[in-house]
């Protein structure tokens, strides 16, 4: 076998790189373009790790090809209060504006002068940041007003993507970020909003509860699995571009094993690609599946120890069945040796803890183990 070139791995598992490494999502991209063009706010919702952030970055990469647009991306995952929300939003905006217009930082002082702005530089990336002295709810409201006035005065069309937006529902003593955003949604002409998140009940509450300020104000895009035919072609072509071969039946097997769930597919493909082999065969996939399960086993055992016996039995039953509509049926309770009420209580716990995923389909509710690798470990080893 000839020596393989030290090729860049085309299967990123933690970040978006560029359109060459991004599979499909054509329909979703069209929805995002339409919402943007016609000035409708939009929310992307999916299970965790289905590809929301990747899709947002992919869309913003597309928008960035025109000088008329300016993209802001902010991830609220680590925020715990209104104050942190504002600080993150201000920082992301400043970063985007500063990249756009050099020497912009001095203008900021004027806008945020009341909040004793302190400039910071990220020691790793060198990115400029701003520390604001935001002490109370009125500061939150006023500094958001300052930010939106600043954004509203820009000549460009601004795409503002707020990822993990559901986090605001977890803040303690929260005031009213949604109602403030609603005001600016209505008052500013050049800002297009995109929200994204994965905790369905929190996100749905923000947009589908009539008592909430953002009720029915946004389009909703539910991100599902990438079509397996398209993913298969994509994976084969990535290997082909590196002058390598992955057998089609290996790709089918891996997509099925990973339930076509984007992140898990990417991890398996990344690992297969990293093997120093020209032709990837079934035995390689078998080896990778085994090593993934072993690598994560201690985490899975720790999970197991946190659960009660009945919760674990219920969980394992769901894994063995792949998908279940109910855990109260005679079939399920007999097979896994559970009382119907116990199984149901356990299910409720597992759903709340996001170990089991509850999805609404046209045929009713369905349950499956949320984490794909845990699911396969439970089925095959646990
Ligand atoms: N269409 C795609 N083609 C190829 N890779 C993708 C695609 N979508 C996402 N990915 C990659 O899969 C990984 C996980 O996706 P991403 O982080 O976008 O998911 P997420 O839904 O935002 O996850 P989380 O819920 O954890 O925030 C990333 O490395 C991302 O680049
Ligand atoms: Mg994400």
| Residue 336's CATH number | 1.10.10.10
% of the chain with per-residue pLDDT over 70: 97
Ligand 1 atom at minimum distance from 24 CA: 1
Residue 184 within a domain:
yes
Select from 180, 189, 160, 178 the least CA-distant residue to 216: 178
Domain count across the chain:
2
Distance 12 CA to ligand 1 centre (A): 9
Q: Which ligand is nearest to the CA of 25?
A: 1
Least confidently predicted of 55-59, 150-154, 155-159: 150-154
pLDDT at 339: 97
Tell me whether residue 3 is in a domain: no
- CB 127 within 8 Å of CB 116: no
Average pLDDT on 223-251 reads 97
Cα separation, 313 vs 98, in Å, equals 55
**217 and 316 part of one domain:** no
Q: Which domain holds residue 123?
A: 25-222
Ligand 1 cavity residues, CB under 6 Å: 12-16, 22-25, 46, 48-54, 198, 226, 262-263, 266
Same domain, 59 and 184: yes
Distance of alpha carbon 191 from alpha carbon 186, whole angstroms: 10
Model confidence at 379: pLDDT above 60: yes
For residue 296, the CA-to-ligand 1 centroid distance in Å is 20
74/211 same-domain check: yes
- Within a domain: residue 371? yes
191 shares its domain with 326 = no
Distance separating alpha carbons of residues 309 and 345, to the nearest angstrom: 12
Higher pLDDT, 205 or 375: 375
Residues 320 and 200 grouped into a single domain: no
Model confidence band, residue 361 (pLDDT cutoffs 50, 70, 90): confident
Band (pLDDT 50/70/90 cuts) for residue 1 is: very low
- What is the per-residue pLDDT for 6? 63
CA of 247 to the centre of ligand 2 (A): 31
Is 227 a domain residue?
A: no
Supply the pLDDT for residue 126. Answer: 79
Instruction: Outline where DSSP puts E strands in 23-68.
Output: 42-45
- The CATH number for 172's domain is 3.40.50.300
Q: pLDDT tens digits for 169-184?
A: 888 877 778 888 999 8
**Domain stop point among 185, 204, 222:** 222
Contact yes or no for 286/251 (Cβ under 8 A): no
Whether residues 94 and 216 fall in one domain: yes
> Using one digit for the tens of pLDDT, what is the confidence trace for 335-354?
999 999 999 999 999 999 99
As a whole number, mean pLDDT of residues 265-276 equals 98
Q: Are 340 and 211 contained in the same domain?
A: no
Q: Are residues 313 and 191 in the same domain?
A: no
- Nearest C-alpha to atom 23 of ligand 1 is from which residue? 49
Say yes or no: 202 and 312 in one domain: no
End position of a domain, from candidates 158, 188, 222: 222
Asked which of 202, 222, 242 is the last residue of a domain, the reply is 222
Select from 128, 123, 122, 133 the least CA-distant residue to 103: 128
> From the DSSP assignment, how many helices (H) and strands (E) are in the chain?
15, 11
Q: How many angstroms separate the CA atoms of 324 and 301, rounded? A: 23
Candidates 105, 32, 44, 43; CA nearest to 69 is 32
pLDDT of 315 above 60: yes
How confident is residue 124, by pLDDT bands cut at 50, 70 and 90? confident
Q: What residues contact residue 203 under an 8 Å CB cut-off, 6+ apart?
A: 43, 45, 165, 166, 195, 197
Give the pLDDT band of residue 45 (cuts 50, 70, 90): very high
| 224 Cα–ligand 1 center, Å | 12
237 in a domain, yes or no?
no
Atom of ligand 1 nearest to the CA of 226: 1
214 and 311 share one domain: no
């Amino acid at each position: 076998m000839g020596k393989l070139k030290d090729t860049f791995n085309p299967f990123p598992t933690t970040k978006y790189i560029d359109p060459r490494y991004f599979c499909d999502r054509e329909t979703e991209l069209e929805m995002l373009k339409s919402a943007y063009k016609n000035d409708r706010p939009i929310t992307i919702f999916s299970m965790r790790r289905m590809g929301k952030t990747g899709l947002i970055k992919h869309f913003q990469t597309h928008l960035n090809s025109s000088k008329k647009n300016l993209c802001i991306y902010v991830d609220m995952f680590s925020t715990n209060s209104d104050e942190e929300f504002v600080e993150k939003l201000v920082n992301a905006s400043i970063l985007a504006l500063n990249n756009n217009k050099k020497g912009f930082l001095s203008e900021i002082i004027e806008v945020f002068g009341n909040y004793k702005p302190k400039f910071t530089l990220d020691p790793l990336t060198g990115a400029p940041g701003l520390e604001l002295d935001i002490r109370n709810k009125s500061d939150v409201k006023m500094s958001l007003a300052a930010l939106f006035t600043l954004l509203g005065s820009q000549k460009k069309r601004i795409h503002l993507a707020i990822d993990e937006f559901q986090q605001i529902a977890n803040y303690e003593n929260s005031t009213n970020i949604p109602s403030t955003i609603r005001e600016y949604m209505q008052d500013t002409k050049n800002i297009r909003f995109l929200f994204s998140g994965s905790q369905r009940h929190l996100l749905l509450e923000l947009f589908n509860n009539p008592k909430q300020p953002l009720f029915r104000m946004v389009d909703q895009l539910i991100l599902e699995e990438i079509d397996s035919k398209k993913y298969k072609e994509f994976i084969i072509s990535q290997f082909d571009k590196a002058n390598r071969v992955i057998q089609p039946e290996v790709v089918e097997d891996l997509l099925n094993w990973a339930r076509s769930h984007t992140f898990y597919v990417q991890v398996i493909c990344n690992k297969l690609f990293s093997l120093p082999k020209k032709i990837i065969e079934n035995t390689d996939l078998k080896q990778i599946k085994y090593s993934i399960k072993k690598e994560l086993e201690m985490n899975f055992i720790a999970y197991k120890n946190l659960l009660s016996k009945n919760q674990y039995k219920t969980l394992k039953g769901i894994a063995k069945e792949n998908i279940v509509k109910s855990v109260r049926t005679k079939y399920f309770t007999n097979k896994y040796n559970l009382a119907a009420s116990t199984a149901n209580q356990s299910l409720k716990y597992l759903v709340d803890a996001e170990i089991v995923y509850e999805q609404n389909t046209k045929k009713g509710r369905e349950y499956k183990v949320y984490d794909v690798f845990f699911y396969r470990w439970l089925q095959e080893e646990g």
